[in-house]
A and B are shown apart, each in its own frame.
Chain A
Amino acid sequence: MNWLSLIVSLFLTGIAGYFIARIKPSLGAWIAMAASCAALLLVLLGGDALPGGPAWGLIRFEVTPLGWFFSLLIILVFSTNGIGSLAAKGRQHREPVYTMLYLFALAASLGVFAAENWLALFIFWEIAVWSSTFAIGLGNGRKGSVSYFGMSLLGSLMMLFAILAMGSAYQTFQIREALTTALQNPGPALMVFILMLGSSMVKLGIMPFHIWMPPAYTEAPDEFAPALAGGLSKLGAFTAFLVSAYLPISGFMGGSWRVKGLPALSYGLVLLASASIVFGTLMAIRQEDAKKLLAYSSAANGGYIIIGILMGTSMSVSGALVHLLAHALATTTAFSVLAVIVRQTGTSRMDALGGLAHRMPLTFLAFLTAILSLVGLPPMLGFVSKWLILQSLASQGLFLPAAAVVFGSIGSMLYAFRILSTVFLGQLKPRHRALQESSPGVLLSLAILSGATMGLGVYPSGLIQYTAKIEASLGMSETVQTAGLSIRGINGNLNALLIMGAFLIGMVIAGAIFFKAPRSRKVDLMDTYTAGEFIYSPELYHYGTQFAAPFERIYEKLPSISRVYAALASLTDDLGNLVKYLFFSPMPSRTALWISVVTILLIWGEVL
């Protein structure tokens, strides 16, 4: 088995899946699940020694540790999501074409991660873009898929430009060769770097490019949103790793200004990513829709990844890789849970929900692990990555980005608690009394995802060793070190198992006191202290709207970036209108006039 045959068979399964699902719609989900699980097995068993397979023209594969890491991540997301979507009865999910698009997106992503040259990478990248665009389009709403495609296209065209600039300047499209040649002959190196990183930022939803995320995540079919948020948006990080490893800014702008040891350009980009963290966090806090909240939090989390990549130290790069995985696992979990909720209640507006934890406790626990990981609390994987990134920021003395990271972490407590409190805690609405716990398939996928989040959070050494291997394969001189169970940082060590141990000891003590004390009586949720107020209904007794109002008021005038894009679109519209008015009028006389004017101008220009 090799990579080429894996990808080709995924594509073919997708096509076959379409026709089978046309005959029997319920089989579509099973095919998507089975194919992605088989791919997971294969990639896991094959490891990063899996051969790329024969070259098929430009389409050549080469499995690298980085590519393998990303592939495993995305297949994990797709296969668990596939398991979780089995029981979905949604209309969109049962479209035959959904199976095809789902597997196309997966196969194309795998193609991106193992591509040997930029052109192959770009081809698969674009296939992933349009297949996911159509998958989003199967959902409700009009804006999501178009803005996703528009922004993705902007990103891919930036990348295409960079690829062709390298290809034309250095006569090679081989990924590593092209970038390292650019390092030695820095003609268009700066342009290539900016464009490549720009395209990554679009995909990751870094600030000026984040506008596609909220509508796309909200409008995508509920079963596709986890794959999109957890898997496909991570494509951007892959090229960012490649570019910053083989074409580091310090390599082609070495002599220029430096801030805190970073080249000024890196520092500027780090600041941009920091702005994305702050902005994403602020926006997430004031959302009323759970999916939008998570979308903005993704924009913020993309910032951590970019900061980690751009700092370029062994710890920060490792932190970025771990954060990528942590965020992928957490968002996939969160969106899968939201899919369950939307399927049962028909809404993802937070104030319309509440108290669901009492109806679906296991789902709640999975969601809790995801949220804790998003906030970056131990013993979850998100903590390990934040620790690594903060350590490297502190040791580099990048205080401004560090402040942004800290703000993002603390601010995430606010929105994380908000989503927990308004969706799962608080009053259960009477109309939601009949809600069911998630189906076994969903629970299995949630168990895998949150098990990974927690397991790797407690025992990250193996993962860190693998990130060290990735760093070595990217040619970094230093790699992140582990010693026994602990990660060796620059100015401190982290032993996640020890933290978990201390926490568990605390838990034992707390539990001992708790169970030693007299048993308490269970009362209804409405049976609470109301300070003398009358309460009428659970609906009115749930605090869910404008949750952080005192805080939101401070920045209610924050300008929206999507307005810039809207202005650009309406500008294009106006131009189109003008063109139509001037040049496409139904009056032949006007055409004749234009012909004469242009002729005179041209001939005049020539005679002069």
Chain B
Amino acid sequence: MDPRKLLRIVGFVLTFVFFLCSFSLPAKATLVIDASSPATVKSNAATLTTASFTPPANSVLYIAVFLRSEASPAGRNNSVSSITDNLGYHLTYTLQGQYGTVNTDDGLVYLYTAVATTSQAMTVSVTQASTVSTARDAMLRVVVINGARLSGPVGQIGGGRGVTGVVSDTYTSSAHGSWGWLMTADWSAGAVPTPGTGQETDDSYNVASKITDSLIKRTTTTPTAGTSVTMDTTAPVSGSQIAHLYFEMYPDPDLGYTTFASSTNFFVNHTMLGIAGGNPTYTFSTSTTFKLLSAAQQQQTGIGTSTSSTFGLLSGFLRSLYVSPSPTYTQIHYHWRNDDGSEAAATSKTSGVQDTDITSLAKSTGVRLRFEVANKGGTKVGYSTQQFRLEYGLKSTTCADIGSWTDVGAVAGDWDMFDSSSLTEGGNTTNIAAGIGGVVDGNHTFLTPNGGIKDTSSTVSAINLTSEQFIELEYSIQALSAATDGGAYCFRVTNAGNPTNYSYTVYPQATLAAGGGYLYFSVDGTTEGFGTVTPGTVAATSSILTVRTDNSTGFFVTVRRSDATGTMSSSGTYIPDKTAWVPGANTSLAGNATASTTEPLTLQFRVRQAGTDGANYSSAWWGTADTTVAALFAGFPASNQNIIDRSSSAVSTTTAYVLYNLNVPTTQKTGAYSGDIIYTVTTNI
């Protein structure tokens, strides 16, 4: 967005604000002590009970209890033995924290919370364990708060005991608009403590030679999450024995904005704050499109750069105008990939161009589909973990018009997962380049770890996707025999079948071969071991390749090693490869393979005549017989080279036997060596 457009939007925002002033006046919800909060109870009674009060519905009761305890005799031991109310159906009282050592000479502080879901008159009672009135000097403060989060009303909390000077607690605020409080109980009954900067005493209680209780709060809420908040006292500085507990009242993130309907004298003051970081043109140096926009006394900070062409961070009115509080999981890009390597090494099926559909896909052929999903909305309403599930539908008009979507992982059907030998189920995708099958970043942050690699099941484990994040998912799939020949199939992801909060900017499509062509390919083992190899002695192993296709012009098989330097290695040491295989121009013309006795101390391979169907075997390439003299071997090439080229279909399964020979010189460093080779079968056109 260029700055001129930005200014137009800001101008629109200001116009919109004044329009609202004329009718309903919005204000940000915040934490407020409700006027119904009862007076503090200060007493040595066994049970402390508040006056009757009526908290509003969906308010939170923060209950601060301050006690004195003594070590002996037993009757002077003290603690909270119970907390309750006078309601027919009692509220649930949750102990959020407690400091001070019970049943010893110490001050005790307890913080409870309870949620009043309905508004009704009530009292709160706290009973002390001590049976001796002179050991029970206590304070009970019930603070009724509007705007607190009902589930988890306390954010940060902590404290300690035995402080002999000033109290100094610090925490990092966990939400915008939270509120810091501090409780102290001085067993040595020193002077009422003086709050530190930016704090004030809510209430206190001093009984000479018994106890000094104090409840301190910040004078204002803390505007921004991540702020370092200090809860402290500045006096007395010595001679005390203080238990202390600080806590953060957590605001309700879902309240959003409320309307003051009865105000007759209300003003909206707005300030366009500066941009945090960047430069005055609202453009960050590493991006031509990314920006932070602040408005209405809220400043957007925290994230500086993005490669996304669509990502921006908005605050204040701008955010309300342009960003949904609910998440919008947008299926924003896709890329079809060949099943020819690991997640990071496989190639694009569409020449490196994302959002491109494929056609003439054979059945029973593994293909990989990479999705990008970005949360283009918010995290305030309806935000939860997502289980991204791959679904398909047969297109008749458009993908969007498909009425019935089917889980790819469901039993039978037209599509199923394809267990790829190159992928690990539940592994993490990485942010690969578009040229090999990646997608353009559609949001600020790539979510990892993500468990987004799927080849045996269609549903990703539950994961959160914030409004700054995008995730890339890679599914290995295949069309089954039941699929419609020539049919065009569309794909999407949902939350385990539920498309609520999902948006589909693009739909990947795959059109099957009209003739129902199919290609099946397998290798008999994922690992082929030579065992322990004695230098100077040949060791051998093999792979059996199995192919089935109804393609009338047959197929060809290529092989290459995955490591550009050499096939097998151990911690950087390579086993020598025989001269890399270069086939003849066709199966009647010899390649460069030689007898096994040439370059004997190497890794070499050949297609063996025994075990290989005749239509798959080229004697010009691999020798006229399997004898030492006649058999021809070559080394694994770094790039794909044909080892089989068959010109006829293989309606029934056909096989090829690939023999591997290994011998090493006496100087070959001991160790465990390994390396991948990649076979690819392709139908002839």
Q: Do A and B come from one complex?
A: no
